[in-house]
Amino acid sequence: MIAGAAGTAPSPGMQQRGGQPRGAPVLRVDGLRKRYGSAEVVRGLDFSIERGECFALLGPNGAGKTTTLRCCLGLIDPDAGSIELCGKPVPEAAREARVRVGVVPQMDSLDPDFTVTENLVIYGGYFRLPRAVIDERIPRLLDFAGLGTKARSQIRTLSGGMKRRLMLARALINDPELLILDEPTTGLDPQARHLIWDGLRQLLSQGKTILLTTHFMDEAERLATRLAVIDHGMLIACDTPRALLAAHVEPEVVEVYGDDAGAWAQAHGRALAQRMEIAGETAFCYAHDAAPLLADLATRGGLRYLHRPANLEDLFIKLTGRELRD
Amino acid sequence: MTASSVLRPPVISTRFLPVWRRNLLVWRKLAIASILGNIADPLLYMLALGYGIGSFIGNVGGMPYVAFIGTGMVCQSAMFTASFEGMYSAFSRMHVQRTWEAIINAPIALDDVMLAEWIWCATKAVMSTAAILIVIFALGFGHTWHALWILPLGFIVGLCFGAFGLVMNALAPGYDFFTYFFTLVLTPMLLFSGVYFPVEQMPAWLAHIANALPLKHAIDMARPLMLGRAPTGIALHVGVLAAYAMVAYYVALVLTRRRLLK
């Protein structure tokens, strides 16, 4: 499903899943616009998230992801558009809506003066949860976060991955309907990322709804039931990963490396591939059927190549371009 | 965020309480160091200047110079404690630790956080006021019920300078920025509000300027209270302190909204 230039895509929330009626969306965003000075950072965004979904907002740096999240939480006022979060209008009733939401911001914000457990107790206090409820939830949350043995540890003794997991546990202290994560695994090593992903998948299997932003395609690929690619503040595409790939990218990719890759691509590859992109010393050949490409490459010594199915990274690059964003 | 929403009036709600409590719980972990820090500096000044210079000049303003300077120290300490909390400590929580960001993702608004920080500044001012009062009592001065009114006075001084500190916090790019406040506000306040000597002895034009300083009004109330008398002109003194406090808090709130809610 591709949005028009003005963001007038048919509501993605109307997609059917098994034909079951699914109640009101957990988050609905209509015509969201936000301007900073002369730059319009969000330019007419529409999307909605149904219960039980994992919805990923994908976009290069500066695409408007974090601004969109902050608007949804009622932390900044949009210039135009309407937002409904957990059935409450935002920003008007944003505080009430946040009672039902858990947030993991981009940067860790644990209280360094408190222990792991105290961090959860204090955060639960911000939701006015009775102490008994907090105390009952903490062991399960620590267990979930793999921090069962760290209950009394000081924050400074935790690794980066542990801190992130504690951030996640903290965001769950109010048993939220919707969990919002802003680049949850940026800066983590692969082991730590996989632990976070496992946790999020576990939450999804329990029926939680997740909205996450990321620029890691493997993260979106593993977790998202639906994703929206945004760039320059506009929705470029929004659908299931499979449908997006089918609609936008040729199914097979052959990456050709080496000094001669460029020359080969110009002379032979271009004719054999449906689409061709050259980045540095790599030629990306996109094809519906890679057999002719592979046959040709087999006759050329000195060229290394990789044949693989198209993935979200190909989609992302196709939709947002290869140039660097800072 | 539109200009009108940044300028909207402050929201006052009990939602500030869990945030205030958080600060209290952190303080409790460092309480002993904090109290010692509160007492040590003023105590040294009181003893050195009070007995040192005091031996030359005897009674000042109807009380021994130690008690005179001690009363000044109480107010000065409330001022320093609240300013410090509103600047360095609030900046750590807002900027370095991102504690405020974490809190406003929960169902607590930035206005609630600011109110909590403001009241916390005043709370800490009361704590240091109490600590120094105890020292003064121990030295044998101020044995009067009236002196206990200095505690709520410390709270108002704390609201006033806590709000000043929060204004600085909202504007600060880093900790170094707060040096301006010491040079431009706290030092003149210290020298021209009658902490170390009666302002009445200064040239008239300087005394007039001193009358515009909030700390002067706090000290004008604290000295008679220490002698067991009700101060004169309470309405004016409290009014000046409260006006400074409320205007500064509103400015701090607007600047902080502009800084964080964009």
Asked if pLDDT for residue A280 goes beyond 90, the answer is: no
Tell me the torsion sign for CA atoms B67, B69, B73, B79.
Answer: positive
Tell me the torsion sign for CA atoms B198, B199, B201, B202.
Answer: positive
Sheet of strand A178-182, all strands in order from the earlier edge strand to the far edge: A101-104, A178-182, A209-214, A54-58, A226-231, A234-239
Same domain (yes/no): A136, A265: no
pTM of the model: 0.90
In B, minimum Cα distance to A170 occurs at: B102
Give the pLDDT mean for A150-160: 96
Same domain (yes/no): A121, A269: no
What's the CA gap between B178 and B97, in Å, rounded? 18
Q: Domain range spanning residue A137?
A: 12-240
pLDDT value at position B58? 84
Q: Which of A108, A112, A123 sits opposite B106 (nearest CB)?
A: A123
List the structure tokens of B139: 């030295």
Give the pLDDT mean for A208-213: 96
Does A1 fall in a domain?
no
pLDDT value at position B3? 53
Q: Which of A191, A221, A240 is the last residue of a domain?
A: A240
Same domain (yes/no): A110, A17: yes
List the structure tokens of A160: 């980066």
Interface residues of A toward B, Cβ cutoff 8 Å, are 36, 73, 75-77, 95-96, 98-99, 103, 105, 107-114, 118, 122-123, 125-128, 170, 174
Question: Running DSSP on this structure, what letter comes out for residue B229?
Answer: -
pLDDT value at position A158? 96
Q: Which of B2, B19, B104 sits opposite A75 (nearest CB)?
A: B104
pLDDT value at position A67? 93
pLDDT value at position A94? 95
More confident residue, A306 or A216: A306
Comparing C-alpha atoms, which of B21, B141, B119, B164 is closest to residue B74? Answer: B141
Q: Is A309 exposed, middle or buried (0-12, 13-18, 19+ CB in 10 A)?
A: exposed
Comparing C-alpha atoms, which of A155, A41, A178 is closest to residue A104? Answer: A178
pLDDT value at position B183? 92
Q: Is B53 helix (H, G, I), strand (E, B) or coil?
A: coil
Same domain (yes/no): A148, A27: yes
Does A317 fall in a domain?
no
In B, minimum Cα distance to A34 occurs at: B1
CA distance A76 to chain B (A): 5
pLDDT value at position A324? 66
Per-residue pLDDT of chain B in tens (262 residues, 90 and over written 9)? 455 689 999 999 999 999 999 999 999 998 888 888 878 888 888 889 888 888 888 889 888 999 999 999 999 999 999 999 999 999 999 999 999 999 999 999 999 999 999 999 999 999 999 999 999 999 899 899 999 999 999 999 999 999 999 999 999 999 999 999 999 999 999 999 999 999 888 899 988 889 999 999 999 999 999 999 999 999 999 999 999 999 999 999 999 999 998 7
Q: Is B259 exposed, middle or buried (0-12, 13-18, 19+ CB in 10 A)?
A: middle
Same domain (yes/no): A22, A73: yes
Does A289 fall in a domain?
yes
Average pLDDT, chain A: 89
Same domain (yes/no): A214, A254: no
What's the CA gap between B227 and B145, in Å, rounded? 10
Asked if pLDDT for residue A15 goes beyond 70, the answer is: no
Which H helix or E strand runs over A212?
strand A209-214
B2 touches chain A (CB under 8 A): yes
Whether the complex's predicted ipTM is more than 0.95 is answered with no
B183 touches chain A (CB under 8 A): no
List the structure tokens of A186: 């940026």
Same domain (yes/no): A61, A204: yes
Does A232 fall in a domain?
yes
- Summarize pLDDT for A166-179 with one digit per residue, the tens: 999 999 999 999 99
Q: How far is CA B151 from the centre of its chain?
A: 12
Same domain (yes/no): A72, A206: yes
What's the CA gap between A46 and A28, in Å, rounded? 8
Give the pLDDT mean for A293-315: 89
pLDDT value at position B157? 98
Q: Which of B25, B29, B105 sits opposite A98 (nearest CB)?
A: B105
Same domain (yes/no): A130, A167: yes
pLDDT value at position A4? 35
Q: Is B196 exposed, middle or buried (0-12, 13-18, 19+ CB in 10 A)?
A: middle
Cβ atoms of A86 and A97 closer than 8 Å: yes
DSSP B151-212: HHHHHHHHHHHHHHHHHHHHH-SSGGGGHHHIIIIIHHHHHHTTSSS-GGGS-HHHHHHHHT
Give the pLDDT mean for A41-48: 94
pLDDT value at position A21? 42
Same domain (yes/no): A235, A255: no
pLDDT value at position A217? 85
Structure confidence at residue A7 as a pLDDT band (50, 70, 90): very low
Does A80 fall in a domain?
yes
In a mutagenesis test of the B interface, which of A35, A106, A113, A127 is the best target, namely the one with the most B β-carbons within 10 Å?
Answer: A113
Same domain (yes/no): A101, A55: yes
Number of compact structural domains in chain A: 2
More confident residue, A81 or A19: A81
Same domain (yes/no): A218, A259: no
Does A319 fall in a domain?
no
Does A245 fall in a domain?
no
Q: What is the CATH number for A61?
A: 3.40.50.300
pLDDT value at position A2? 37
- Summarize pLDDT for A100-123 with one digit per residue, the tens: 999 999 999 999 999 999 999 999
Give the pLDDT mean for A202-206: 95
Q: What is the CATH number for A258?
A: 3.30.70
Comparing C-alpha atoms, which of B94, B44, B42, B49 is closest to residue B73? Answer: B42
Give the pLDDT mean for A8-35: 64
Does A318 fall in a domain?
no
B11 touches chain A (CB under 8 A): no
